[in-house]
C-alpha cells in the first residue's frame, strides 16, 4: 500500500467506510455523517454512521476469526504485530497529516509525533508475546499444578479523539498479541486516521482479527459494549461515559479498563530549577495540543518565593509559541477539536474571569490568516489568584487553561494536590531528595514524576486512581492483567 501524503485525497478515499472482516464497507443503513476540519470548519469526508447492525457484523467477524488467531503460537502473533509496526513506519508522514487534518493538532509538535508512537507501541507489544506464560504451582507432590494465560475472546475498544491513533494502539496491540480479536469504535470527531491505521494493519492480520466501525456513542458504542459476544471492553474518554460503560459491563459481568479524566497537579518548590520547571509545565500542560490531554498539568502549585518569576517565565514561553494552520511546519499550536469543546472551554475562561481575585493571562496570538477565520483556536490562558476548590481548578476543562496557585510549603502543596476527584498524573520539581521522596509517597496519582514531565511511554504502566479510571495500560502487566485470564490446571499423578 503506497503512502498518500495528500490528507484531503486520503480523507475522501476513506469516506463512508467501516473496516469489517478485512474489507472496507459502508454502513448497513447507508447513512454517514460529516467529518470536519476544525481549522477551517469545512467538511473533509463522510464517515460511515454505524449502528447495532454494523456492530453485530463486526463482532461476528471477530468471533469467527478468534479461535484460529488464538491457536497461533504466541510468538507468531507477536511477529505479525511487529511486522505491522514496520508497515506503519512507512506511513508516519501520511498518518500525521491525516490526523492533523481531522483533529486540528499541529503536525510538527503533535500529529507526526503521535503517528510515530503508534508504530512504537505495536513494536513493544509484538516483542512481549513470549511473556504470556503461566506458572507451575507447588500445590501437592502428587499433582502437577499449572496456570496458563488464555485470551478473553472478542475485545471491544472505544476511543476518544485527542490522540486517537496512540490511544487505539495502546489497546489493540496487547489485546491482539494476547490472542484476542478486536472491534474498535472510533470517536465521531476523528474516525479517519484510525481507520487508515486499521487498513494498513489488515494487510498483515487475517480478516476479522482487527475490525473498526465509526459512529456515535449511544448508537454505535453502546451496542458494542452490550453485545453478548464481547467479553471485555477497554475505554478512554470522559468520566461520564466511563460510568455508562462500566454500568453496562457490570450488567454483563465482563471486565472493563477505563482511562478517564484528570486534573493533574504539578508542584514547583522554591529550590527547583525554574527554567526546567517552566519547560516542563509547557510540555505537561500539552499547550501544543490546546491542552486536550487527560494528563494536562492544569493545576500548578508554586512556592510563594518563586511564584511570580514562574508565572512570568511561563507566560513568556507560551507567548513565543505560534498558533496557526495545523499542517504548517511553523505552527506550534493547532486548534481544539469541535465547536462543543470550544464552547465548553470558553465558558470556563469566562466564568474564571468573573471570579473575584482571579487574573487571566492570555498568551500567544490568534492566527491572522483569513482561511483560518472559522478555526477553533483559543488563546492559551494562565489563571492566577484562584483557589483550588473553584470549578476552574476542580473540573476537567480539556482546553489550554491552567491555574497557577501560590503555596507556602511542600506540605500545603501536596494537601491541595490531593484535594481532587481525580488521580491520573502528578509532578514535583525540587532539588531536595527528601521533599521529592515524601511527595512521591503522598501524591494520590497513578503516574508520579520528579523533575520531568514525560508522557505515556510503552513499558511504563499508566492509569489512574480515584475517578481517573480502573486498570493500567502501556506495560506488560497491562497485557497480562487486562487481556487474558489465568486458568488453573491440575493433573493428578496418582
Ligand atoms: P466521550 O467520553 O463522550 O467520548 C469518548 C468515546 O466514547 C467516543 O468514541 C464516543 O463516541 C464514545 N461514547 C460516548 N457515549 C457512549 C456510550 N453511551 N456508550 C459507548 N460509547 C460512548 O467524550 P467527549 O464527549 O468526546 O468529550 C467530553 C469530555 O470528556 C472532554 O471535554 C474531556 O473532559 C473528556 N475526555 C477525556 C479524554 C481522556 O483522554 N481521558 C478523551 C476525550 C474526552
Ligand atoms: Mg460525549
DSSP one-letter string for 190-210: --HHHHHHHHHHTTTSPTTSE
What stretches in the chain show pLDDT beneath 70? none
In this prediction, residue 222 carries a pLDDT of 98
Instruction: For residue 338, give the ligand nearest its CA.
Output: 1
Residue 332 CA, chain-centre distance (Å), reads 20
In this prediction, residue 4 carries a pLDDT of 97
Any atom of ligand 1 within 6 Å of the Cβ of 244? yes
Global confidence as pTM: 0.98
Q: Which of 61, 9, 3, 51 lies closest to 27 in space, CA to CA?
A: 51
In this prediction, residue 398 carries a pLDDT of 98
The catalytic position among 84, 198, 294, 363 is 294
Q: Looking at the CA of residue 161, tell me the nearest atom of ligand 1.
A: 43
Q: How far is ligand 2, taken at its centre, from the CA of residue 238, in Å? A: 7
* Sequence-distant (≥ 6) Cβ neighbours of residue 196 within 8 angstroms: 10, 14, 91, 94, 95, 98
Distance CA 292, CA 111 (A): 13
In this prediction, residue 244 carries a pLDDT of 98
Q: Which of 184, 195, 170 lies closest to 474 in space, CA to CA?
A: 170
Any atom of ligand 1 within 6 Å of the Cβ of 245? yes
In this prediction, residue 426 carries a pLDDT of 98
Report pLDDT digits (tens) over 400-419: 999 999 999 999 999 999 99
DSSP state of 462: B
Distance CA 281, CA 165 (A): 24
Any atom of ligand 1 within 6 Å of the Cβ of 84? no
Is 189 annotated in the active site?
no
Cell numbers found for residue 239: 468520566
Cell numbers found for residue 35: 467529518
3-state secondary structure (DSSP) of residue 16: coil
In this prediction, residue 132 carries a pLDDT of 98
Decide: 54 and 213 in contact? Cβ < 8 Å.
Answer: yes
Burial of 494 per CB tally in 10 Å (0-12, 13-18, 19+) = exposed
* Sequence-distant (≥ 6) Cβ neighbours of residue 116 within 8 angstroms: 92
Helix (H) or strand (E) holding 77: helix 74-89
Cell numbers found for residue 258: 477505563
Decide: 74 and 38 in contact? Cβ < 8 Å.
Answer: no
- The residue whose C-alpha atom lies closest to atom 15 belonging to ligand 1 is 217
Distance CA 405, CA 267 (A): 10
Kindly state the greatest CA–CA separation across the chain.
Answer: 84
3-state secondary structure (DSSP) of residue 13: helix
Per the listing, cell 515524601 goes with 438
In this prediction, residue 292 carries a pLDDT of 98
Pairing assessment for the beta strands 469-470 and 256-259 based on DSSP bridges:
antiparallel
In this prediction, residue 78 carries a pLDDT of 98
Is 294 annotated in the active site?
yes
Helix (H) or strand (E) holding 457: none
In this prediction, residue 26 carries a pLDDT of 98
3-state secondary structure (DSSP) of residue 35: strand
Any atom of ligand 1 within 6 Å of the Cβ of 220? no
Cell numbers found for residue 411: 506540605
User: Alpha helix locations (H) across 90-235?
Assistant: 92-103, 112-126, 164-177, 192-201, 222-226
Instruction: For residue 246, give the ligand nearest its CA.
Output: 1
- The residue whose C-alpha atom lies closest to atom 40 belonging to ligand 1 is 294
The catalytic position among 94, 189, 259, 473 is 259
Distance CA 307, CA 301 (A): 9
Decide: 366 and 324 in contact? Cβ < 8 Å.
Answer: no
Instruction: For residue 163, give the ligand nearest its CA.
Output: 1
Cell numbers found for residue 204: 498483515
Any atom of ligand 1 within 6 Å of the Cβ of 225? yes
* Pocket residue to mutate for ligand 1, from 33, 48, 156, 160, most atoms within 8 A of Cβ: 160
Any atom of ligand 1 within 6 Å of the Cβ of 221? yes
Distance CA 145, CA 132 (A): 17
In this prediction, residue 154 carries a pLDDT of 99
Amino acid at each position: 500500500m503506497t503512502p498518500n501524503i495528500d490528507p484531503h485525497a486520503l480523507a475522501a478515499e476513506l469516506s463512508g467506510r467501516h473496516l469489517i472482516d478485512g474489507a472496507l464497507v459502508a454502513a448497513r443503513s447507508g447513512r454517514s455523517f460529516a467529518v470536519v476540519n476544525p481549522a477551517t470548519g469545512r467538511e473533509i469526508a463522510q464517515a460511515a454512521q454505524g449502528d447495532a447492525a454494523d456492530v453485530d457484523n463486526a463482532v461476528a467477524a471477530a468471533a469467527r476469526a478468534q479461535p484460529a488467531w488464538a491457536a497461533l503460537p504466541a510468538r507468531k502473533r507477536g511477529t505479525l504485530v511487529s511486522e505491522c509496526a514496520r508497515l506503519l513506519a512507512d506511513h508516519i508522514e501520511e498518518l500525521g497529516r491525516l490526523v492533523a487534518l481531522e483533529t486540528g493538532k499541529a503536525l510538527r509538535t503533535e500529529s507526526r509525533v503521535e503517528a510515530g508512537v503508534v508504530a512504537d507501541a505495536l513494536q513493544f507489544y509484538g516483542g512481549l508475546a513470549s511473556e504470556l506464560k503461566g506458572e507451575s504451582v507447588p500445590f501437592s507432590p502428587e499433582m502437577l499444578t499449572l496456570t496458563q494465560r488464555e485470551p478473553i475472546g472478542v475485545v471491544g475498544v472505544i476511543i476518544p479523539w485527542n490522540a486517537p491513533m496512540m490511544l487505539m494502539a495502546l489497546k489493540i496491540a496487547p489485546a491482539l498479541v494476547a490472542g484476542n480479536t478486536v472491534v474498535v469504535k472510533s470517536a465521531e470527531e476523528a474516525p479517519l486516521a484510525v481507520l487508515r491505521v486499521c487498513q494498513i494493519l489488515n494487510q498483515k492480520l487475517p480478516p476479522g482479527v482487527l475490525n473498526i466501525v465509526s459512529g456515535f456513542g449511544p448508537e454505535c458504542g453502546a451496542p458494542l459494549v452490550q453485545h453478548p459476544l464481547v467479553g471485555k471492553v477497554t475505554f478512554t474518554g470522559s468520566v461520564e461515559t466511563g460510568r455508562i460503560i462500566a454500568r453496562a459491563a457490570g450488567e454483563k459481568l465482563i471486565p472493563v479498563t477505563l482511562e478517564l479524566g484528570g486534573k493533574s497537579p504539578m508542584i514547583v518548590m522554591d529550590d527547583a530549577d525554574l527554567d526546567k520547571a517552566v519547560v516542563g509545565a509547557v510540555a505537561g500542560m500539552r499547550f501544543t495540543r490546546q491542552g486536550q490531554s487527560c494528563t494536562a498539568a492544569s493545576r500548578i502549585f508554586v512556592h510563594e518565593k518563586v511564584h511570580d518569576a514562574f508565572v512570568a517565565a511561563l507566560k513568556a514561553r507560551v507567548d513565543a509559541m505560534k498558533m496557526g494552520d495545523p499542517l504548517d511546519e511553523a505552527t506550534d499550536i493547532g486548534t481544539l477539536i469541535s465547536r462543543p469543546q470550544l464552547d465548553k472551554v470558553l465558558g470556563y475562561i469566562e466564568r474564571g474571569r468573573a471570579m473575584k481575585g482571579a487574573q487571566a493571562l492570555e498568551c500567544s496570538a490568534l492566527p491572522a490568516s483569513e482561511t483560518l477565520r472559522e478555526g477553533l483556536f483559543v488563546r492559551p490562558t494562565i489563571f492566577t489568584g484562584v483557589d483550588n476548590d473553584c470549578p476552574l481548578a476542580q473540573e476537567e476543562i480539556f482546553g489550554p487553561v491552567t491555574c497557577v496557585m501560590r503555596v507556602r510549603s511542600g506540605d500545603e502543596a501536596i494537601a491541595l494536590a490531593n484535594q481532587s476527584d481525580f488521580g491520573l498524573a502528578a509532578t514535583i520539581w525540587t532539588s531536595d531528595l527528601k521533599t521529592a521522596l515524601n511527595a512521591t509517597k503522598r501524591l494520590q496519582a497513578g503516574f508520579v514524576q520528579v523533575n520531568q514531565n514525560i508522557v505515556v511511554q510503552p513499558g511504563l504502566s499508566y492509569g489512574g486512581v480515584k475517578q481517573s479510571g480502573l486498570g493500567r495500560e502501556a506495560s506488560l502487566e497491562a497485557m497480562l492483567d487486562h487481556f487474558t485470564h489465568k486458568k488453573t490446571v491440575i493433573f493428578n499423578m496418582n
